[in-house]
Amino acid sequence: MTRRTVIGGAAALAAAGFQAVPAYAGGDHGRPGKTVRLTVMGTTDLHGNVFNWDYFKNTEYDDSAHNDIGLAKISTLVSAVRDRIAADRRAPRPLLLDAGDTIQGTPLSYYFAKIEPITGGHTHPMAAAMNRIGYDAAALGNHEFNYGLDILRKFQRQLRFPLLGANAQDWTTGLPVFPPYTLKRVHVPGEKPITVGILGLTNPGIAIWDKANVENKLKFGGIVELAKIWAPRVRKAGADVVIASVHSGMDLSSSYGDALPYPENASVLMAETVPGIDAVLVGHAHLEIPERLVTNKASGEQVVLSEPLKWGMRLSLFDLDLQKVRGQWKVVGRHSQVLNANTVDADPDVVALLQKDHDKVVEYVNSKIGTCTEAMSAATAPWEDTAALDFVNFIQADAVSKALVGTPQASLPVLAIAAPFNRAAAIPAGDVSIRDVAGLYVFDNTLLAVTMSGAQIKEYLEFSAQYFQQVYGPGPFKSDQVTNAPTPTAPTGTPDYNYDIMGGLSKPLTYKIDIAKAAGARITDLAYDGVPVAADQQFVVAVNNYRQSGGGNFPHVKTAPVVYNRQVEIRQLMIDYVTATGEVNPNTFHTGDWSLTSNGAPITVTS
């Protein structure tokens, strides 16, 4: 749907939500001084989005808030900001930064990592777009490591700006393997230049989430710990202003619990405890936080933080007011806001630059690979048994079972886990395309298998069942009354991807989840092929690499013996199955049954 018209300059900024803020009016020791405003723009969690397009639905992107996405839209906002500032000949040129998670997340990015890898010579579409827009620096995100170091290094070489990561360190020496920071000299008419130091930090969770790609090669120190080392070095190198681009959410929480000694989300903690940082571009949490001001406990100075919404929906705008203090530039005022990308049209230059790449991927994802005997939807997968997730579990368990033939584990029953990644996913009756199948599995996870006991499986399912809020009675309940319960490690609610559903292969696994009971005592009637699971019974469990490496901090799976790991992507296994068989028949892969109860009685949940 087309909702926008071409607007530019001040009109574009006003429509995007821009609010002019008066410049700082004070001066050193109360005496008025000349104030210079430095503007810094920021994006984060772009996740492979250039166009305002949903490759899984094959239509323009839209959501309930009517957000738009992609770098082509961001480019229009960036140009409007630059034009506004250029109109004031006294103002220094603005800077543009990114806080990571750039090269993974859409079929566009997947295609140029796996189908036609950029290591073969093609320029990554995200590199091409960011170069055209004119970024000054970007921080590494955790998803930069999903496709391995060869793809990441090639992407890095294709950029015309530095890719920063002060806490991405050599496994042996501890030295940074990406530039920790960069200095940008910004011209100020009639004055000495402002030297801006940009410090990049990424998420320590990479050590868990991409263990297969980084173990024995890279390690990742804590964000606060490494900022304490590098922020003073950036100052010593001559920076008048220090901006941290950090792929870590605002407030303290860690999806991996205590599996690492460093928190996953630590941007505010860093701002409060590491002196010398003036502003923080925040990423990773996929939240929209226009402005947060905190006071550094050591220096007493304020720090401004902003996180723009994911996928290019928003552009953060920092305004830093500087004055000369004893001959040196000093930040004396700070402010931030976000601009909404759904108010502007896509930059036609960015569109033209990458239209061929986009068209190639659209053709790829829409190619027919088989048929389906009846429609399968994941819309209700978080609260009831569905054929859609049975299909995912069947594919995983089937691949592991075939690979274990002739091994000591071949006689063990095989189970699999799957999470409801995408409630909008559906495989239609009739023709099935790559995008239909890929929509069920939107992450680039690989398949592993471990051995676990019956007791461990029950504990695993109990941990998973923390996802549900505690409710009583038969309902009906709205889904948001039942799902996404807050926990100590997910204070804003457990995401769907951290709720695992378990099923069998040759025989069904069945269980009930009593959500009237407290978390930790909810799993009842756990049975395999109708027989109660014994505590010492042994199973092979197919899992994804994120979960096996500790993602979500589920019990036992990280330390369980690995019996299968061929680095095969689960989504590709699903596509290959449909291509090879030519048909998806939900009746052939019923992997079990689970249901929600309240004090043992069935409950009703509606969307």
Query: Helix, strand or coil for residue 49?
Result: coil
pLDDT, tens digit (0-9, with 9 covering 90-100), for 539-596: 999 999 999 999 999 999 999 999 999 889 999 999 999 999 999 999 988 889 999 9
**Rounded-to-integer distance, Cα 548 and Cα 20, Å:** 49
Whether residue 117 contacts residue 146, with contact meaning beta carbons closer than 8 Å, is answered with no
Flag whether pLDDT at 492 surpasses 80.
Answer: yes
**Rounded-to-integer distance, Cα 549 and Cα 543, Å:** 10
- Site of tokens 């461990």: 456
Other C-beta atoms lying within 10 Å of the C-beta of residue 204: 26
Which residues are 501's β-sheet partners?
Answer: 418
**Rounded-to-integer distance, Cα 52 and Cα 62, Å:** 8
The HSE-up count of residue 348 (CA atoms within 13 Å, CB side) is 3
**Rounded-to-integer distance, Cα 464 and Cα 458, Å:** 10
pLDDT, tens digit (0-9, with 9 covering 90-100), for 420-460: 999 999 999 999 999 999 999 999 999 999 999 999 999 99
- What do you get for the CA distance between the two ends of the chain, in Å? 25
Can you say how many angstroms the Cα of residue 69 is from the centroid of all Cα atoms in its chain? 15
Report residue 245: phi and psi, to 5°. -105, 110
Which has the closest alpha carbon to 167: 243, 227, 255?
A: 227
pLDDT at 103: 97
**Rounded-to-integer distance, Cα 447 and Cα 440, Å:** 15
**Rounded-to-integer distance, Cα 56 and Cα 106, Å:** 9
At residue 259 the predicted structure's pLDDT band, cuts being 50, 70 and 90, is confident
Give the angle 72-75-79 at the CA atoms, nearest 5°.
Answer: 150
- Ramachandran sector of residue 152 (left: φ over 0; alpha: ψ -120 to 50; beta: rest): alpha
Burial annotation 257-290 (CB, 10 A radius, 16+ → b, else e): bebbebbbbbbbbbbbebbbbbbbbbbbbbbbbb
Query: What is the sign of the dihedral through the CA atoms of 306, 311, 315 and 318?
Result: positive
- Mean pLDDT, the chain, rounded, equals 95
At residue 26 the predicted structure's pLDDT band, cuts being 50, 70 and 90, is low
pLDDT at 21: 86
- Name the token pair of 204: 């320590």
Other C-beta atoms lying within 10 Å of the C-beta of residue 588: 12
At residue 32 the predicted structure's pLDDT band, cuts being 50, 70 and 90, is low
Whether residue 570 contacts residue 446, with contact meaning beta carbons closer than 8 Å, is answered with yes
pLDDT, tens digit (0-9, with 9 covering 90-100), for 332-389: 999 999 999 999 999 999 999 999 999 999 999 999 999 999 999 999 999 999 999 9
Can you say how many angstroms the Cα of residue 121 is from the centroid of all Cα atoms in its chain? 26
- Name the token pair of 397: 């368990």
Whether residue 157 contacts residue 127, with contact meaning beta carbons closer than 8 Å, is answered with no
Cis amide linkage into residue 508, ω under 30° from 0: no
pLDDT at 74: 98
pLDDT at 3: 39
- Name the token pair of 252: 């303290």
Helices (H) and strands (E) in the chain, counts: 16, 33
**Rounded-to-integer distance, Cα 439 and Cα 562, Å:** 28
**Rounded-to-integer distance, Cα 508 and Cα 414, Å:** 10
**Rounded-to-integer distance, Cα 176 and Cα 234, Å:** 14
Mean pLDDT computed over 284-312: 97
pLDDT at 494: 97
At residue 8 the predicted structure's pLDDT band, cuts being 50, 70 and 90, is low
Mean pLDDT computed over 157-162: 98
- Ramachandran sector of residue 561 (left: φ over 0; alpha: ψ -120 to 50; beta: rest): beta
Mean pLDDT computed over 240-260: 93
Whether residue 181 contacts residue 197, with contact meaning beta carbons closer than 8 Å, is answered with yes
**Rounded-to-integer distance, Cα 336 and Cα 580, Å:** 53
Whole-prediction pTM value? Answer: 0.90
At residue 5 the predicted structure's pLDDT band, cuts being 50, 70 and 90, is very low
Which has the closest alpha carbon to 311: 26, 52, 542, 60?
A: 52
**Rounded-to-integer distance, Cα 513 and Cα 493, Å:** 19
- Which stretches of 202-261 are assigned E, i.e. beta strand? 218-220, 241-246
Helix (H) / strand (E) containing 352: helix 348-365
Burial annotation 475-488 (CB, 10 A radius, 16+ → b, else e): bebebeebbbbebe
**Cα–Cα separations (whole angstroms), residue 353 to 2, 17, 356, 593:** 21, 28, 8, 49
**Cα–Cα separations (whole angstroms), residue 549 to 148, 210, 228, 493:** 16, 8, 28, 22
- Ramachandran sector of residue 592 (left: φ over 0; alpha: ψ -120 to 50; beta: rest): left
- Name the token pair of 453: 């006991």
Helix (H) / strand (E) containing 325: strand 314-325
Mean pLDDT computed over 521-550: 97
- Site of tokens 């919404």: 309
- Name the token pair of 294: 């905190």
Helix (H) / strand (E) containing 562: strand 562-569
